[in-house]
Structure 1
Amino acid sequence: MHSTRPSFSGMRGRRRVLVAAGLAAALTLTATACESGDDNAADKPAATGSGASGGDKIEIPADIADRLKEHGIDVDDWKDGEWKNWDKDKWLTEAEDFVNPVIEGLWKPERMKSAKDPDKTISAKDASADQGVSDPAPAPVNATREETPYHDNAAPVGKVFFDSPEGSMVCSGTVVKDPRNPGKSNLVWTAGHCVHAGGGGGWYRNIAFVPAYNDLGKSESELANATPQEISPYGQYWADWASTSNEWIQGGSESGGAGAAYDYAVLHVKPESGSKSLEETVGTALDVDFSTPAAADAGTMGAWGYPAAPPYNGLIMHKCVDRPGRLSLSPSLPTMYRIGCTMTGGSSGGGWFRVVDGKTVLVSNTSIGPADNTWLAGPQLGQGAKTLFDNMSKEYGAK
């Protein structure tokens, strides 16, 4: 049974249920309200924002330093700018090569605002492939703004920042529950193309997650005088490990390619400052649904994210809610979900949610869409995605 009034509770406090209005079958995200006398309550936005406090330095872990050395990269040189070297022999590619040492203060508010979207589109010809399996393209659904403050309405949703050879980039992501670390998850779900370039490149660098970015939904002019807490209410979380599918690493491309149906990733993150887990700090997280329901049986799905390509500017959280159809790019690839949505690049990696037995769960993520921005498609999260997720939880969840 699928309810249209999801319930999604955080670790403590009362629940606030907010409706994605304007559609017959509304999907909601909820967050917790702080009612603890503890000044460090889990669901209270960090008072210090995104900056490190007290001059504390985060050291590069020995295992990361060792992996850099294996590729002839000096740790101090990396932090001083060697990370900008995208020469082929310096661009780490394989799954086990991921390194992401914290560079304190790199993601300043202005740098975050200037990050671009990693535009992933497919041509109309590709989108019409194998129409015997694909459903007709859906009618566009106009993206609507999320209610502010985001930490009350969609706390698990945030922005993923990273550096690529083309410059600083931005995607979207979602805080998800870690089954081996209940209540203390440090896991973020996003798209594979937000962490790895696919078959033509390697791992992106300086990957960081900012939940509830621009919490009050301020305009660009208003953000000029915004406090760090308004921009990053829970601070910044750097990825100390990332996993994406081998299919994306080998077959992904700028247009999605053969890796599009496997375009998902999981980040394990740590705070740039502080010691609490991401879930404790944000106050809530979502379960991941790996049941791959048929589109016809999945009910309503909603996609959340921060679209950055025109007519959007990446500063405001948006959402689309629709009933999914099927998209097949090839008979040899798994069918993807597709919904009508006008969100553009930058929303990539943002979670897709549905309701199962009254609970909101993550069922996919934004991967690709057409150049005219009328719909979005996301991968089905089957056994391969579940194995990747379980391995991340097992190997890195408690670190």
Structure 2
Amino acid sequence: MRSIRPLLAATGLAAALALTATACGPTEDKASGGGDKASAPAASTPAGDASAGNSDIALPKDLADKLKEHGVDPEKWKKGEWQNWDKDKWLREAKDFVNPVIEGLWKPERMRTAKDPAKTMAAGDLSGGQGVSDPTPRPVQAQREKTPYTKHGAPVGKLFFDSPKGHMVCSGTVIKDVNNPGKSNLVWTAGHCVHAGAAGGWYRNLIFVPAYNNNALSPTALQAAPPQEEAPYGAYWADWVATSGEWIQGGGPTGGNGAPYDYAVMHVKPEKGGKSLEETVGTAVPVDFNAPDTRRISAMGAWGYPAGPPYDGYVMHKCVDRPGRLSLSPSTPSMHRIGCTMTGGSSGGGWFMNRAGGGLSLVSNTSIGPVTHGWLAGPRLGKGAEQIYTMMSKRYGKS
């Protein structure tokens, strides 16, 4: 069923929603944002290869004990035991997340061959809640983000992780930390990018690479390019992650009852270097847990790295549309939905809207889409999402 409402001109919406960034010196803090075109906070240009400098890997003090508690030897884990996905070795409870740093694991070629964990749905999957869903939106063709990303899409990046199906890729966004202004180490993504849901547990070896492939080089050109092209700000390992209990208990291959709660917050640390993620990238986006009703929002934009055909995962894309509602079940909250042709790999990428006073705020993330790739849906961020964010900020923000 195609939408009968008129589609707003893409050029007008794109002008209203733009993840722009302004270059600044390495010691300046311009993350407060503002501006007259609803642009995101300013971002610094990369100061060479962000992997340079002294190692600053600091694992949680109880990490070794936690691994041993589950019968895992930390040294064996780093040498390959993490590849054991036996049910009794796959940690799934919220309190059981572990992600020891394995230096050198995520080599450039390994990143380039990561697959997308697509969450696609057939038309029959949507029958449960159509009574309160708005008409299916018309497809909006995803547009390439301007390069270099360090000036135009700096807070967005790629999330890499390992699952029983191999090494995988999603998208994520650097978000502000209200308890650590200017020094955030928090990344917003989808729950299905960090945890398998009802049928599994936590994924492993999670890292975040902001502004991946900074100049949108082709695979061949990127292979021959210096490391700072692929990871202009370096790589950041997740040392703690939280997702919703609803996703852990009810998430499924096509989202399931966990889809309206398919969000996650990661706390990260650089594999090498000492500065916070926000200081290094130069920008972070605030999260809005009190966004208006979907029907009152004139424009919403989704950013990410689509990796499923016809895309290859090397280029950041965006879609901007007037959102509608998608209901999967009468017992769960409705989701935001926009027309967009992005595919798997864009999962977890932030959705933004203009906020009062200028700039953008994050209001959702890519969760599910149809096999026809004509639209995307993301969860509404309410009290549950805010509780997870607040816990991560207070408990892990300064660690």
TM-score by length of 2: 0.91
The superposition leaves residues 238-294 of structure 1 with CA deviations (integer Å, 9 ceiling, x where unpaired) of 000000000000000111000000000000000000110000000000000101421
Deviating 4+ runs (over 3 angstroms): 35-38, 51-54, 56-61
Distance across 2 between alignment mates of 1:262 and 1:140: 24
The superposition leaves residues 296-342 of structure 1 with CA deviations (integer Å, 9 ceiling, x where unpaired) of 11220000000000100100000000000000000000000000000
Aligned to 1:370: 370
Aligned to 1:9: none
Q: Shift in Å at residue 226 of structure 1?
A: 1.1
Distance across 1 between alignment mates of 2:224 and 2:72: 38
* Paired letter, 1:369: G
Aligned to 1:383: 383
| Match of residue 24, structure 1, among 6, 12, 18 | 12
Assess, with a 3 A threshold, how the Cα gap between structure 1 residues 36 and 264 changes in structure 2: closer, same or farther: closer
> Do 1:307 and 1:316's aligned partners in 2 also have CA atoms closer than 8 Å?
yes
> Do 2:57 and 2:270's aligned partners in 1 also have CA atoms closer than 8 Å?
no
Aligned to 2:37: none
Distance across 2 between alignment mates of 1:87 and 1:71: 12
Aligned to 2:303: 304
* Paired letter, 1:242: V
Q: Shift in Å at residue 31 of structure 1?
A: 1.9
**Partner SS, residue 363 of structure 1:** strand
> Do 2:21 and 2:153's aligned partners in 1 also have CA atoms closer than 8 Å?
yes
Aligned to 1:79: 78
The superposition leaves residues 22-68 of structure 1 with CA deviations (integer Å, 9 ceiling, x where unpaired) of 42222111223123678xxx93414224x4656x4736443111110
Aligned to 1:112: 111
> Do 1:127 and 1:370's aligned partners in 2 also have CA atoms closer than 8 Å?
no
> Do 1:159 and 1:306's aligned partners in 2 also have CA atoms closer than 8 Å?
yes
Aligned to 2:40: none
* Paired letter, 2:304: G
> Which piece of structure 1 moves more, 355-364 or 319-328?
355-364
> Which piece of structure 1 moves more, 93-102 or 25-34?
25-34
Aligned to 1:334: 333
Aligned to 2:3: none
Aligned to 1:45: 46
> Which piece of structure 1 moves more, 340-349 or 121-130?
121-130
**Partner SS, residue 31 of structure 1:** coil
> Which piece of structure 1 moves more, 330-339 or 60-69?
60-69
Aligned to 2:31: none
> Do 1:118 and 1:345's aligned partners in 2 also have CA atoms closer than 8 Å?
yes
> Do 1:32 and 1:283's aligned partners in 2 also have CA atoms closer than 8 Å?
no
Aligned to 2:25: 35
Aligned to 1:290: 289
Assess, with a 3 A threshold, how the Cα gap between structure 1 residues 85 and 277 changes in structure 2: closer, same or farther: same
Q: Shift in Å at residue 82 of structure 1?
A: 0.4
Distance across 2 between alignment mates of 1:170 and 1:23: 29
The superposition leaves residues 337-384 of structure 1 with CA deviations (integer Å, 9 ceiling, x where unpaired) of 000000000000000000012220000000000001000000000000
> Do 2:21 and 2:152's aligned partners in 1 also have CA atoms closer than 8 Å?
yes
Distance across 2 between alignment mates of 1:219 and 1:52: 25
> Do 1:189 and 1:349's aligned partners in 2 also have CA atoms closer than 8 Å?
yes
Distance across 2 between alignment mates of 1:37 and 1:114: 35
The superposition leaves residues 111-156 of structure 1 with CA deviations (integer Å, 9 ceiling, x where unpaired) of 0000000011112012243222000100000000000000100100
Distance across 2 between alignment mates of 1:32 and 1:339: 28
Distance across 2 between alignment mates of 1:205 and 1:233: 23
Distance across 2 between alignment mates of 1:352 and 1:279: 19
> Do 2:351 and 2:366's aligned partners in 1 also have CA atoms closer than 8 Å?
yes
> Do 1:46 and 1:229's aligned partners in 2 also have CA atoms closer than 8 Å?
no
Q: Shift in Å at residue 221 of structure 1?
A: 1.3
> Do 2:56 and 2:270's aligned partners in 1 also have CA atoms closer than 8 Å?
no
TM-score by length of 1: 0.91
Aligned to 1:321: 320
Aligned to 2:248: 249
> Do 2:174 and 2:278's aligned partners in 1 also have CA atoms closer than 8 Å?
yes
* Paired letter, 2:366: T
Distance across 1 between alignment mates of 2:132 and 2:11: 27
Aligned to 1:393: 393
Give the unaligned 5+ runs of structure 1: 1-20
> Which piece of structure 1 moves more, 127-136 or 296-305?
127-136
Distance across 2 between alignment mates of 1:257 and 1:149: 37
Distance across 2 between alignment mates of 1:36 and 1:131: 50
Structure 2 residue 205 is the aligned partner of structure 1 residue 215: no
* Paired letter, 2:44: D
Assess, with a 3 A threshold, how the Cα gap between structure 1 residues 275 and 35 changes in structure 2: closer, same or farther: closer
Distance across 2 between alignment mates of 1:206 and 1:305: 20
Distance across 1 between alignment mates of 2:276 and 2:57: 16
> Do 2:25 and 2:44's aligned partners in 1 also have CA atoms closer than 8 Å?
no
Give the unaligned 5+ runs of structure 2: 1-8, 29-42
Distance across 2 between alignment mates of 1:112 and 1:120: 20
> Do 2:60 and 2:239's aligned partners in 1 also have CA atoms closer than 8 Å?
no
Aligned to 1:190: 189
Distance across 1 between alignment mates of 2:232 and 2:134: 41
> Do 2:335 and 2:378's aligned partners in 1 also have CA atoms closer than 8 Å?
yes
**Partner SS, residue 87 of structure 2:** coil
Aligned to 1:267: 266
User: Aligned Cα RMSD in Å?
Assistant: 1.6
Aligned pairs for 1:132-171 within 5 A: 132-171=131-170
Identity of aligned residues (%): 67
Distance across 1 between alignment mates of 2:63 and 2:268: 14
Distance across 1 between alignment mates of 2:97 and 2:323: 34
